[in-house]
Every structure is written in C-alpha cells, then in structure tokens.
C-alpha cells in the first residue's frame, strides 16, 4: 500500500474501531498519523487504510461500489452516515445491506411504497428491500427461471422481519384473486407468527431470535400470479427446551401458555417461575409484549392457517405436559445406582405429565427411572441413577417438542394419544405423540395451496444468525459455521 504524506487515512482504534486521520510520516514498518482531534498516533501498516477524499462532503453513497476505497472502515463509515439520516438500506452491487433501526417505520413499507418499486429498474430508486424482491420477481418473469433470496446476518440484525417484508411484497406483486376467505397471501403471512411462537426465543442480543432455519418457496404460474407456496424449516435448537441461561428465555409458546387463564386452570399451570424449564433464567416478560395477547394471536393464526380446534388443544396440552415433565425430580433409591421420585410435588408433576401425555403413570415412571437392554436371552431392565434419570427426562422433553414442532412446521403430524412413540432407549413407551402419515409442512402447505406443478418459484432463505454465548453448544457451532460458509460464498 503506497500512501503519501498528507493522505487521508483510517487508523485502527481500540475504542472506536476506526478514526479518520491524516498521514504525517511513513517509515516503512510504521506510520505516524494525526487524528481529527490532533493526536499523533503510531500505527502498523496493517492498521491503516486509505480514505475517500470527499466522503465528508456527502451523507454517504447509496451503492458502496462507488466508493473509491471499498475497505472495512470505509464501509462502516458510509453505513453510519446513511443511518444517521434514517437511510437504513444501502447497496453493494446487487447485495442489499440493512441496518436494523430497532423501531417501526410503517411509511417505508406501505402500499404506496410497494407501488413505487413495482417494475422500477433496480438502482433507479433508493435502496430498499422491495427493490430486491421486485428485481427477483422481474428476473423470474423475464428469464423464466426460479430465483433465490438469501437473508443472512448476525442475530438481531432483522433477518426475520426482512423475510416477512419480502414475502409481503411478493404477495402484493403476484397476488391472485381470492377465491376463498383465506387467500394464499394471508395464509403464508399468518404462518410467520405461528412459527415464531414455537421456534423463536429471547437471546442475549435479540428478543425474538429465530432458533431454526426457514425456507419459504413462493410458487407462480406463467402469468406471474401466485399459484401456491411451501414452507420448510430446518435445525430447530432442541437443547433450548430444557436448558437456558440468564437473560435468555425458552420458546415463546411456553410463556404464552402460562398467560392464558383458561389453560392455566385446565392444565394446572402457573407463573413461568414455577417451572424448571423456564426459571433457569429470571426473564419472564419481554418489553412491550403481552404474553396473553400473543397467545390469542397464535390462536387466531392457527384458525387462519387451518389447524382445527381439536388439534390446537392437543398442541397446548403437549406443551403443558413438557412443563410438568421438567418439574419431576429424582432421589437415590434403595438399590445401587437406582432412582425414585423425590417427593409428593414431583409425583404430582409426574401424574400431570402422564395425564396430559395420555399414558399410564407407572409406565412413564419406569421409562424415566429404568432402561431396557435387549439381549439374545431377552430384555434386561437396568435401574438408572438420579443423573441418568434426569438426562432421560430432558431427552424425552426435547424429543417431544421437536416432534411437535415438526408437526407444526413440517407437516401435520397429528398428536394422537393412541399411537406409540418409540424412543431408542424406551421401547415400552406408548406415550403420546405423534407422527401419522401427514406432517405439519403438509398441513400448512395444503392449507396454503402448494402447487407441485409450478415451474417458477422464488425461494427466501432465513437462516440462524451468528451469535456467541458465554456457553456455546455444538448446535451453535454448526450455526456459526453455516454463517461463515455463507459469508465465504458472498466474498467469492
């Protein structure tokens, strides 16, 4: 890098990341620069980058490929200048960068704004998520080829909201005439709050963090009208069901259930602080969010998507069973390395779990406190110590919730209390849940009206955000690795 004396540069700073400065002297292995405050700083060459000469004369460029120097400090400074002017969107070629304002901006996403971007050449209007969605739609119509839109970023960057805005625009530009009270666009959009209730949770950086990946495929006919849609989900974070850290939360649906007066009495629930799977963190409410209202929104969304009231009851019954299951504690039994139910409180929760799961109490107890090993001579029943019993309890809770989410997100796996669910360690369990011939994606997709003969689709991928916790699970490693690979794809 050849920089002359007097050149405008960026210099790395421990507190502010980058500071604007002027090069005073270069000695090969070390630069001397003066910051805007007049302070002289010695810096290594790798910590100094050239700066655009005229960047202070404008409020930032709409497309950062127009920057003379497309380096990290230049990009960050440009985004900051535009954000200060309430311009949250910026292009880098065909890539749109969005800076989350953490505020509602309804004027940016109303019908008038969608009409402006409909058919407008890409780059003619200010950067906007609608411009990306429209460009994808036009490319599909003009070339007759399916398109994909990838939405990525750190946790809390606004990926899920951006995905919903893309879906909103596509249902606007390709909306079909409503032949029924529940149009495709309604059902596609109403699937969002449902999936968020069961698949989103509060993390350190995001009150509504998606803990699963989602691929939404909007299908179109030859005239550009929506002919159907399909929703697929991936990699639910199962461990969150049984283990959370302060100040995070478990999945929203548990708190919604505990806020429903009718269900609290019906399922013998109470405040979230009464349940082990929820009270590992002391955060029970979200700022500006009513769990009771969210519960009603979830119910209404279920109605629109087409989930029957019978199945709705089965879903919330299963959630309540999981909460009671988590409150079962164990103490050492009389035999070596054995366990028994700790006290009457735990026995109450065991009874409630068995009732709600629709299984025999003694069968559930045996499942938790023993395991069956099959040999040539027959089955050997081995007692489990307290730690193993608790681990088995948590494994059951995670599996049940994952199957419930699969029912909800991958197809209608009806909750049928008369169908055996067999865990590898629990061959005798005739508990409860799940999976019939149809699966939840089939439920939502059949309700929406999936067009299996569609030749043109626009797929929108909303994946987990990059995040680093105090304690990171293997699941989080996989999430971050996927984000790194996606970033590598962009860089290439």
Give me the catalytic one of 200, 203, 206, 227. 206
Token pair for 57: 């004369």
Whether 22 is catalytic is: no
Whether 465 is catalytic is: yes
Q: Does 157 show up as a binding residue in the annotation?
A: yes
State the sign of the Cα–Cα–Cα–Cα dihedral 247, 284, 296, 359: positive
Give me the catalytic one of 161, 185, 217, 467. 467
Give me the catalytic one of 32, 71, 92, 156. 156
Whether 250 is catalytic is: no
Q: Does 158 show up as a binding residue in the annotation?
A: yes
Sequence-ordered alpha helix ranges (H) in 270-343: 291-305, 309-326
Measured between alpha carbons, how far is residue 166 from residues 6, 141, 159, 354 in Å? 46, 17, 11, 44
- Cβ atoms of 162 and 151 within 8 Å: the answer is yes
Measured between alpha carbons, how far is residue 439 from residues 254, 307, 359, 444, 448 in Å? 22, 12, 23, 9, 14
Q: Does 310 show up as a binding residue in the annotation?
A: no
Whether 183 is catalytic is: no
Burial, 189: exposed, middle or buried (Cβ in 10 Å; 0-12, 13-18, 19+)? middle
Whether 156 is catalytic is: yes
Q: Does 133 show up as a binding residue in the annotation?
A: no
Burial, 351: exposed, middle or buried (Cβ in 10 Å; 0-12, 13-18, 19+)? middle
Give me the catalytic one of 26, 160, 233, 483. 160
N-to-C CA span, the chain: 22
Q: Does 214 show up as a binding residue in the annotation?
A: no
Q: At what angle do helices 309-326 and 344-357 cross, to 10 degrees?
A: 160
Q: Does 367 show up as a binding residue in the annotation?
A: no
Whether 306 is catalytic is: no
- Cβ atoms of 253 and 298 within 8 Å: the answer is yes
Give me the catalytic one of 26, 90, 152, 155. 155
Give me the catalytic one of 152, 210, 445, 454. 210
Q: Does 159 show up as a binding residue in the annotation?
A: yes
Whether 206 is catalytic is: yes
Q: Does 228 show up as a binding residue in the annotation?
A: no
110 vs 101: CA distance, rounded Å: 17
- CB atoms inside a 10 Å sphere around CB 143: 10
DSSP string, 224-267: S-EEEEEEEEE---GGGGT---TT--SBHHHHHHHT-HHHHHHT
- Long-range CB contacts (< 8 A, 24+ apart) of 286-294? 286/202, 286/207, 286/249, 287/207, 289/207, 290/259, 291/252, 291/255, 291/256, 291/258, 291/259, 292/256, 292/259, 292/260, 292/261, 294/197, 294/252, 294/256, 294/259
Provide the annotated binding site for ATP.
153-160
What residues are annotated to the active site?
155-156, 160, 206, 209-210, 465, 467
- Which residues are documented as binding site? 153-160
């Amino acid at each position: 890098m050849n920089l002359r004396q007097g050149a405008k540069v960026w210099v790395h700073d421990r507190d502010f990341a980058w500071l604007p400065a002027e090069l005073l002297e270069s000695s090969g292995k070390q630069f001397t620069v003066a910051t805007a405050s007049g302070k002289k700083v010695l810096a290594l060459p790798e910590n100094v980058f050239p700066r655009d000469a005229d960047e202070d004369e404008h409020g930032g460029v709409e497309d950062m490929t127009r920057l003379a120097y497309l380096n990290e400090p230049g990009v960050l400074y440009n985004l900051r200048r535009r954000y200060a002017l309430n311009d949250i969107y910026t292009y880098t070629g065909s890539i749109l960068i969005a800076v989350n304002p953490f505020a509602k901006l309804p004027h940016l996403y109303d019908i008038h704004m969608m009409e402006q971007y409909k058919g407008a050449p890409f780059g003619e209007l200010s950067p906007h998520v609608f411009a990306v969605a429209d460009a994808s739609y036009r490319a599909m119509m003009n070339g007759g080829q399916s398109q994909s839109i990838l939405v990525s970023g750190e946790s809390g960057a606004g990926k899920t909201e951006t995905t919903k805005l893309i879906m909103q625009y596509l249902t606007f530009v390709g909306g079909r005439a409503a032949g029924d009270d529940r149009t495709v666009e309604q059902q596609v959009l109403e699937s969002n709050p449902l999936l968020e209730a069961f698949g989103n949770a509060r993390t350190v950086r995001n009150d509504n963090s998606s803990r699963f990946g989602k691929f939404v495929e909007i299908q179109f006919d030859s005239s550009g009208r929506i002919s159907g849609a399909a929703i697929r989900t991936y990699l639910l974070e199962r461990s969150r069901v049984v283990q959370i850290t302060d100040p995070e939360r478990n999945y929203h649906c548990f708190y919604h259930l505990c806020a429903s007066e009718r269900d609290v009495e019906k399922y013998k629930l109470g405040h979230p602080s009464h349940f082990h799977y929820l009270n590992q963190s002391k955060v029970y409410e979200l700022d500006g969010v009513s769990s009771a209202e969210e519960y009603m929104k979830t119910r209404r969304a279920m109605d629109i998507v087409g989930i029957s009231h019978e199945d709705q009851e089965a879903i919330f019954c299963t959630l309540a069973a999981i909460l009671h299951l988590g409150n079962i504690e164990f103490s050492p039994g009389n035999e070596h390395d054995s366990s028994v139910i700790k006290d009457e409180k735990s026995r109450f929760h065991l009874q409630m779990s068995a009732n709600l799961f629709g299984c025999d109490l003694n069968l559930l107890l045996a499942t938790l406190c023993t395991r069956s090993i099959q040999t040539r001579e027959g089955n050997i029943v081995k007692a489990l110590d307290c730690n193993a019993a608790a681990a088995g309890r948590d494994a059951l809770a995670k599996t049940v919730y994952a199957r419930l989410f699969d029912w909800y997100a991958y197809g209608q796996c009806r909750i049928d209390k008369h169908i055996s669910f067999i865990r590898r360690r629990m061959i005798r369990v005739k508990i409860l849940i799940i999976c019939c011939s149809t699966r939840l994606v089939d439920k939502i997709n059949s309700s929406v009206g999936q067009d299996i003969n569609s030749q043109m689709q626009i797929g929108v991928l909303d994946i987990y955000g990059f995040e680093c916790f105090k304690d990171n699970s293997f699941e989080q490693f996989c999430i971050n690795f996927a984000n790194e690979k996606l970033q590598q794809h962009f860089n290439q």
